[in-house]
Amino acid sequence: MDNKEILLVADTVSNEKGVDREVIFEAIEAALASATRKKHQKEIGVRVDIDRKTGHYDTFRQWEVVLPAENGGLDEPLKQITLEAAQMDNPDIQLGEFIEEQIDSVEFGRIAAQTAKQVIVQKVREAERRKVIEAYKDREGSLVMGQVKRVERGNVYVDLGENAEGFIPREEMIPREAVRPGDRIRGYLYKIASEPRGPQLFISRTSPEFLIELFKLEVPEVGQDLIEILGAARDPGMRAKIAVKSNDPRMDPVGACVGMRGSRVQSVSNELAGERVDIILWDENLAQFVVNAMSPAEVSSIVIDEESGVMDIAVPSDKLSQAIGRGGQNIKLASQLTGWTLNVMDEAEAEDKSEAETKKLAKVFMDQLDVDEEVAIILVQEGLSTVDEVAYVPTSELLKIEEFDEDIVEELRGRARDALLTMAIATEESSEPKEDLLNMELMTPEIAKTLAANGIVSMEDLAEQAVDDIEEFEGIDRVLAGQLIMKAREPWFAEEPE
């Protein structure tokens, strides 16, 4: 290969592969260096420099300037030289720099040319991978479209063009969806991973984000920020729900997403292999949003438990199966869309559950406030559920209750505060360390108080702990924790008297 051929190879490969010409020159230099090492049959340091204009190249043997190894020698004597030895010829040379000596350049034979070809191919592949990642890094989280190249055991490989290949795992394909090589297919690019065999562009057709992106494509008002899509839930290939909100009071977001004669939602459904899509109107009132999300089922009442994130939904008996949906589909999608755990029951069951919970809360008020059942039930029906609320809710709120006057309210608040004080004293007493714990060997008053504050008030309590349970308590390390526990367990192993 003469100098002109090197320039020809660089130009040809650069044009064919769409890779920068400099990358090809670097690949040829690496190939020439590899051929030089093979010629010398030694793993020496070699650098080849090709003139980018003429194609002429020179070859240099290199030694890197390093400090001696611990044994005084060099890790790679054929490629390295000590700083002391290098400075004998060049006093200004620094660590990490190279000493070079020009040597004869190799002439290309068949083997050398093959080596060059392999290096060039590898470099081109690496450049193509970088190019793909660069092209798609800003498209993660968006729609992509390509042509199906092949299908292997349910996994689909998609040609996205420009040497980019997308991968749709079997679990990200819509169930029972038939695709064949040559089909055009859309998907949601959810991950880009750089792997040894090349960049992997992972695509999904089952994610809720895919559904949202399709609506953005079909409904121009979304791109204009007139309509917002606030969430989606899917049972891929079967049914989906999407929550929408209008930023323009004159616009109906549900109608806009459905389209004229259902054209827009039908286009989305067709892309999703016939998946039925319910458009749900978002509402800032959580209960109303849940009612909307349960569509097409009718909701009679809702009871919200904010602490547990659970809602009990009552529906007419004859609508129960519709509310639940086939295989629990409707309730599952509504739960995913709203972010709440939804329990569906018929009206009779809901009434029984409500009555049972009312009695349970009323019993608490009767015991702690010493009031009769009628007063306790009134408190529950007004939304009060703890003694704290009775003690600290504003007096004006309690006076709004029709059955209560000022005297009753003050009496109830006084009883509630007394009950809270009694409970606080009882809790404090129960957290005091017992005598056997205080008198135990290795124990100090400070450690005993720390243990008691964490519910360990006796030797028996301590004996039942594990080292991991108490080693992070203040003043207790792992060693001391083990010693204390073993000391507390000594009575377990004491010999029985004869």
- Please write the tens of the pLDDT for every residue from 203-262: 999 999 999 999 999 999 988 889 999 999 999 999 999 999 999 889 999 999 999 999
Q: Is the pLDDT of residue 109 over 60?
A: no
Pairing of strands 57-66, 80-82: parallel
DSSP-based three-state secondary structure for 267 = helix
How many independent structural domains does the chain possess?
4
Please check whether residues 52 and 123 belong to one and the same domain: yes
The per-residue b/e assignment along 202-229, b for 16 or more CB within 10 angstroms, e otherwise, is bbbbbbbbbbbbbbbbbbebbeeebbeb
Q: Are 104 and 72 contained in the same domain?
A: yes
One domain for residues 7 and 127: yes
Identify whether residues 17 and 110 lie together within a single domain: yes
Q: What would you measure as the largest C-alpha separation in the chain, in angstroms? A: 110
- Judge if 161 and 178 occupy the same domain: yes
Q: Which domain holds residue 470?
A: 435-493
* 479 part of a folded domain: yes
Closest CA to 179 of 153, 151, 202, 159: 151
> Residues of 297-328 as b/e, b for ≥16 C-beta within 10 angstroms?
bebeebeeeeeeeebbbbbeeebbeebbbeee
Cα 343 to Cα 78: distance, rounded to the nearest angstrom: 75
Measured CA to CA in angstroms, residue 170 lies from 154, 158, 188, 196, 274 at distances of 5, 13, 14, 22, 19
Q: Are residues 117 and 186 both part of a single domain?
A: no
Question: In 3-state terms, what secondary structure has residue 343?
Answer: strand
Percent of the chain with pLDDT over 70: 93
Whole-structure pTM over 0.85, yes or no? no
Q: Is 81 helix (H, G, I), strand (E, B) or coil?
A: strand
| pLDDT score of 414 | 85
Cα 319 to Cα 445: distance, rounded to the nearest angstrom: 64
Average pLDDT, the chain: 85
Residue 421 located in a structural domain = no
User: Which residue pairs from 469-473 have beta carbons closer than 8 angstroms and sit at least 24 positions apart in sequence?
Assistant: none
**Looking at per-residue confidence, does 475 or 169 come out higher?**
169
Percent helix, strand, coil in the chain, to 5, is 50, 20, 30
- 201 closest CA partner among 146, 128, 153, 140: 140
In this structure, is residue 343 part of a structural domain?
no
The DSSP letter of residue 261 is G
Closest CA to 186 of 232, 221, 218: 218
424 in any annotated domain: no
Taking the C-alpha atoms of residue 273 and residue 293, their distance in angstroms, rounded to an integer, is: 23
Residues 32 and 120 in one domain: yes
Report the CATH number that the domain containing residue 264 is assigned in CATH: 3.30.300.20
Say which CATH number the domain at 12 has.
3.30.1480.10
**pLDDT value, residue 133:** 78
User: Are residue 177 and residue 72 in the same domain, yes or no?
Assistant: no
Per the model's pLDDT, the better-predicted residue between 267 and 412 turns out to be 267
Q: 297 vs 103, 287, 315, CA distance in Å?
A: 85, 14, 8
Quick one: pLDDT band at residue 113, thresholds 50, 70, 90? low
Query: What pLDDT shows up at residue 427?
Result: 62
Q: According to the model, what pLDDT value does residue 410 have?
A: 86
pLDDT for the residue numbered 1 = 47
Residues 6+ apart with CB under 8 A from 205: 168, 172, 173, 174, 177, 185, 186, 187, 188, 236, 272
Q: Give yes or no for a contact between 190 and 213, defined as CB atoms under 8 angstroms apart.
A: no
Q: Look up residue 107 and give its DSSP letter.
A: P
Question: Are 127 and 17 members of one domain?
Answer: yes
Binned at pLDDT 50, 70 and 90, residue 196 comes out as low
How high is the pLDDT of residue 199? Answer: 66
Mark whether 266 and 185 lie in a shared domain: no
Last residue of a domain, one of 248, 263, 282: 282
Residue position matching structure tokens 């755990």: 341
DSSP state of 154: T
Q: Please tell me the distance from the alpha carbon of residue 102 to that of residue 114, in angstroms, as a whole number.
A: 24
Decide which of 222, 250, 282 is a domain's last residue: 282
Residues 354-359, mean pLDDT to the nearest whole number: 81
Tokens 């526990």: give the residue.
Answer: 485
More confident residue, 348 or 169: 169
Q: DSSP label at 432?
A: S
Q: Using CA atoms, how far apart are residues 359 and 376, in angstroms rounded to an integer?
A: 9
**What is the phi-psi region of residue 325: left when phi exceeds 0, alpha when psi lies from -120 to 50, beta otherwise?**
left
- The enclosing domain of 169 has a CATH number of 2.40.50.140
| Strand, coil or helix: 113 | helix
Phi, psi of 441 (to 5 degrees): -60, 145
pLDDT for 296-355, tens place per residue?
888 888 888 887 888 888 888 888 888 898 888 999 999 999 999 998 988 888 788 878
Establish if 348 belongs to a structural domain. no
Show the DSSP H helices in 250-384 as ranges.
253-258, 263-271, 286-293, 320-324, 329-338, 347-369, 373-381
Q: Can you give the pLDDT at residue 188?
A: 95
Structural domain contains residue 319: no
Q: What is the pLDDT of residues 277-286, one digit of tens each?
A: 999 999 999 9
Domain boundary among 131, 163, 193: 131
Q: Is residue 426 part of a domain?
A: no
One domain, residues 255 and 177: no
Identify the CATH number of the domain in which residue 442 sits.
1.10.150.20
Note whether 100 and 8 are same-domain residues. yes
Half-sphere exposure in the Cβ direction for 490 (13 Å, CA): 9
CA 135, 138, 139, 140 dihedral sign is positive
Report CA-CA distances (Å) from 174 to 81, 238, 268. Answer: 62, 9, 14
* Domain assignment of residue 468, yes or no: yes
pLDDT of residue 431: 66
